[in-house]
Structure 1
């Protein structure tokens, strides 16, 4: 005989469905592993019409499936092909419908450039976390620099581009060149030394640090930490001018100003001759306007003083009083004329009023009003009598409705004690009391037994 043991409630709660198991595993992979970087060879590359990429990354001993969605693969700067060695940044995940363990790729680069880019991103995050890129640390460039310092290769095209622009725009502007290596393993240290030397000599108002364009490896010396920290520590404002406009280096983030090219840096720090001429003309115009304004103010002050002096002169006071007298005489004349006109109007109105209030007309109007009032009084009395009669009839009808006599007519009677208090219960009397019963046609006195 075979016995089957019942499954406990606790055991039931630990039984997974396949869907639940895959979901739990996916969350564990995504939450625990986070972002990973890895190098591998592309294989089984597929790019369907959806725009997503699907492929495998492999090395000599293993492979892993990968997916790169179109929102991320649009940023890839090369065309991936099977056999490419690449560096990818990815999140570990699991494709639940099939239970396939896979990588979700966020970025992809050729292996060499990718390693440099990874180092670039790590240093950028580190320095940003320390606040070296903060805007409030940026030093402003002087508007009219007295001397420009250039830190670059003495044989590079960037130096000649900068010198050509400065010569064209402002030939009188002094220039100091601090030659240095701008490519190779020792270049970063040499650039830092040149920046330190320029600060110790303190003979320039602005430093341009840069070089011409090149590959990521060519520009890598400007992505070294020693260069970044030296730029941040510089007491002289620094303009970073590395490569072309699309090239971005750590030096660009730390510098006080970033110029897209060396020539643009020269344009930025200089003022052309026409600008200086315009500045002189503007200053002359401002000076002339200031003199005119001062002259106008002085004239106004003089006029005010002359006017104040004239107001204190006896002739001015006499003229003022004479004018006041003339004004008062004119006002008196106008007032007398106005008063006479008003009196004439009042006289005319009094004559009309006297004619209107003649005794004959007053008697006629009084008789007419008396006749009208009499007729209206008779009508009012008659209407009042009618209203009172009607109200009296209504009140009599209501009174008869609630009258005790009306109740007695229907066969009822009212019993009171000797004091006239109406009896409503037998408890109100006792044996020997005299009571009075009122009927419709008289009263009956009774004794309680």
Structure 2
């Protein structure tokens, strides 16, 4: 313990910082293939994801400045090829990849193979301008290595017929797409060299995707073109399409039609010489730029290591991490409060007077119904008693007596006349019968 000094004792922060520098400086750029999972894109614009295979996984971050160049929308389950630098997220001690570019696995693998083969052949000098043969100024016979049914062949023949119909043409038909195409093209070039009947060859096809043109990125074909004793013009695809065959050929034409113009004579053949030299100059410039591209990339990588953007990216990632932790904490807090409110509401419902009021209302309704039933019975009983009393009253009613033939006589004052002495001459009497009354005067 006595040999320890303050310099030997690391803090966690210092340890993570040192490990991050080791990872970034020692590993450099790596290429990685994997399946995307746990993909997220917060409002900051950065992407966070996990790349995994069947046995392992690694966390990744792709910052906004780089992910803007991605031409597709990553989704969980996508197989991708990424170019990244290894780093360490110091606050959590997690090692991670900082992704600089991302491609779907198929396109990315082809582009990577293209770049690797290009660097390999360039390093061997196959692209050097000094190894290229000049084109004959006045070709005596032109060979065409392409598909016998492709549009490229007819384009070339149309141009040659228009510009120099007397120029002999030999066609070496071959496949120009698929797994066997590269070998067939190489064999056709070898056949043309062995027969030695042409003094310039046009090798190419029409445009297409990277996969369609892939046979022209074959190493065997590239070495066959470089070894050809006959000058070769590469005419693959359109002007924007670039293949390994273009770099190794003696001349690159932007299209098959342009290649036909290069080998045909007309009144403007001097312009062709200038165009040829321009193409040579452009090819030399491309070769020069290719050689310096790797050096510039290395210098740029070293410069980027010192760029404050990396520190800003790490801080931005930490901010995103804190933001996600805050969101999770808020979600847990709100969930806890919601559960507490739910429990309180349940307790409130258990002690709520609503249930008792409902019970009292039901009891009141039952009592009200009983009262109505009792009133109905009482009313029915009273009606029955009233009917009996009416019947009894009817038996002693004077009206019943009137019906048997009797009558009642009254004076004008309404007094019942029971004796003759109660009347005098001139009085008006009213005699009531069962079906009406009779008015009479006493004489």
Listed as ranges, the gaps of 5+ residues in structure 2 are 274-443
In structure 2, the partner of 1:21 is: 15
- CA deviations over 1:288-323 (Å, ceiling 9, x no partner): xxxxxxxxxxxxxxxxxxxxxxxxxxxxxxxxxxxx
Q: For the residues of structure 2 that align with 1:234 and 1:278, how far apart are their CA atoms?
A: 23
Cα 1:72–1:185 change in 2 (3 A) is: same
Deviates more, 1:55-64 or 1:198-207: 55-64
Given the alignment, which residue of 129, 150, 154 partners 1:160?
Answer: 154
Cα 1:223–1:16 change in 2 (3 A) is: same
- CA deviations over 1:39-98 (Å, ceiling 9, x no partner): 212234445676654332223444322223455445544343333211122222112344
Q: For the residues of structure 1 that align with 2:46 and 2:163, how far apart are their CA atoms?
A: 52
- Which of the pair has the greater relative contact order for Cα pairs under 8 Å at 6+ separation? 2
Count of aligned positions: 273
- 1:179 CA displacement: 0.8
Q: For the residues of structure 1 that align with 2:32 and 2:120, how far apart are their CA atoms?
A: 21
In structure 2, the partner of 1:150 is: 144
Listed as ranges, the gaps of 5+ residues in structure 1 are 1-6, 280-449
Cα 1:17–1:231 change in 2 (3 A) is: same
- 1:12 CA displacement: 2.8
Q: Contact 2:135 / 2:200 at 8 angstroms: preserved in 1?
A: yes
Cα 1:232–1:71 change in 2 (3 A) is: farther
Q: For the residues of structure 2 that align with 1:165 and 1:52, how far apart are their CA atoms?
A: 52
Given the alignment, which residue of 227, 233, 236 partners 2:230?
Answer: 236
Question: How big is the alpha-carbon RMSD for the aligned residues of Structure 1 and Structure 2?
Answer: 2.7
Cα 1:73–1:258 change in 2 (3 A) is: farther
Q: For the residues of structure 2 that align with 1:70 and 1:143, how far apart are their CA atoms?
A: 53
- CA deviations over 1:372-409 (Å, ceiling 9, x no partner): xxxxxxxxxxxxxxxxxxxxxxxxxxxxxxxxxxxxxx
Cα 1:93–1:257 change in 2 (3 A) is: same
Q: For the residues of structure 2 that align with 1:25 and 1:19, how far apart are their CA atoms?
A: 10
Cα 1:262–1:88 change in 2 (3 A) is: same
In structure 1, the partner of 2:134 is: 140
Given the alignment, which residue of 110, 114, 122 partners 1:120?
Answer: 114
Q: Is 1:175 aligned with 2:137?
A: no
Q: Contact 2:262 / 2:272 at 8 angstroms: preserved in 1?
A: no
Given the alignment, which residue of 176, 183, 194 partners 2:188?
Answer: 194
Q: Is 1:223 aligned with 2:217?
A: yes
- 1:34 CA displacement: 3.4
In structure 1, the partner of 2:247 is: 253
Cα 1:45–1:227 change in 2 (3 A) is: same
In structure 2, the partner of 1:12 is: 6
SS of residue matched to 2:198? coil
In structure 2, the partner of 1:111 is: 105
Q: For the residues of structure 1 that align with 2:58 and 2:67, how far apart are their CA atoms?
A: 18
Q: Contact 1:153 / 1:179 at 8 angstroms: preserved in 2?
A: yes
> What TM-score comes out, normalization by structure 1 length?
0.56
- 1:275 CA displacement: 5.3
Cα 1:44–1:244 change in 2 (3 A) is: farther
SS of residue matched to 1:141? coil
- 1:112 CA displacement: 1.7
Q: For the residues of structure 2 that align with 1:70 and 1:230, how far apart are their CA atoms?
A: 44
- 1:246 CA displacement: 2.3
Q: Is 1:38 aligned with 2:28?
A: no
- 1:21 CA displacement: 0.8
- 1:231 CA displacement: 0.6
SS of residue matched to 2:4? helix
In structure 1, the partner of 2:309 is: none
Cα 1:278–1:45 change in 2 (3 A) is: closer
SS of residue matched to 2:187? helix
Q: Contact 1:232 / 1:254 at 8 angstroms: preserved in 2?
A: yes
In structure 2, the partner of 1:211 is: 205
Q: For the residues of structure 1 that align with 2:245 and 2:11, how far apart are their CA atoms?
A: 55
Q: Contact 1:184 / 1:221 at 8 angstroms: preserved in 2?
A: yes
Q: For the residues of structure 2 that align with 1:33 and 1:271, how far apart are their CA atoms?
A: 56
- CA deviations over 1:109-154 (Å, ceiling 9, x no partner): 2112222222222211211111111122122222222221110111
Q: For the residues of structure 1 that align with 2:139 and 2:152, how far apart are their CA atoms?
A: 21
Cα 1:272–1:82 change in 2 (3 A) is: farther
Q: For the residues of structure 1 that align with 2:77 and 2:11, how far apart are their CA atoms?
A: 39
Q: Is 1:57 aligned with 2:51?
A: yes
